[in-house]
Amino acid sequence: MDKSPEKIKQMFNDIASVYDFNNMVISFGLHKLVKNKVVKDIKFNGMVLDLCTGTGDIAGLISKNYKCNVKGLDFSVEMLNISKRRYPDIEFIEGDCTNLPFENNSFDFVTISFGLRNIENYDKALDEIYRVLKPNGIFIHLDFGKKNPIVNLIYNFIVPKLVSIFYKNLVPYDYLIKSKKMFFDETQLKSLLEKHKFNKIKTKSYILGGISCQIMQK
């Protein structure tokens, strides 16, 4: 797959205006329930960085539920325009996950949701996340899981059908399904994270294994 940064950036700029509506349709609203659950399961405090923040839903939930200093970062200007309007009290920054504009040991928590698999250079992004986390800081990664093949089969079948009804351009969502299939399973992802020095890695599953969350420590 072509995951060059410019191509991925353009794709997200193009779909920004319909991104939230389409997510609600293709997940039957479950994505909001899962994100709420994940945020409430983890007790955030201090300095928090939400990477691939998109339209800011995770950053917004953290800011709403905890007294934290939250920053969101994304390289899609159109996505950030929406997040800034929606959450004016949060600082949103245009930036690249493989070259973060922050000092070493800056954040107590770093989150990335449904974003790592869209980055061409996983290794550089994970090195940067590790670098900006404080000692013993927490990294939370959220994305589709692969433990339940039935859930995955249903999702892979339903998404193209729904997108064809509500959004005529199938290209971004063809990419979504392909990137989901090609991304690491939970065991492979744990090995990748350990390679980048993260430890105490715990995995939590949501929607019968359809969504997977890794929580780990620097």
Instruction: Give the domains, in start order, of the chain with CATH numbers.
Output: 5-217 (3.40.50.150)
pLDDT band at 42 (very low <50, low <70, confident <90, very high): very high
Q: What is the pTM of this model?
A: 0.92
> Among 45, 198, 70, which residue's Cα sits nearest to residue 131?
198
Mean pLDDT of 163-181: 71
DSSP state, residue 99: B
Report the pLDDT averaged over residues 12-21: 90
The predicted pLDDT at position 4 comes to: 92
Model confidence band, residue 162 (pLDDT cutoffs 50, 70, 90): low
**pLDDT score, position 180:** 84
- For residue 110, the model assigns a pLDDT of 98
What percentage of the chain carries pLDDT values higher than 70? 93
Question: Is 90 exceeded by the pLDDT of residue 163?
Answer: no
pLDDT tens figures, 107-154: 999 999 999 999 999 999 999 999 999 999 999 999 988 877 777 777
Cβ-contact 18, 176 below 8 angstroms:
no
Average pLDDT, the chain: 91
Among all chains, which residue has been given the structure tokens 């000092």? Answer: 103
Nearest-5° Cα angle at 58, 52 to 62: 130
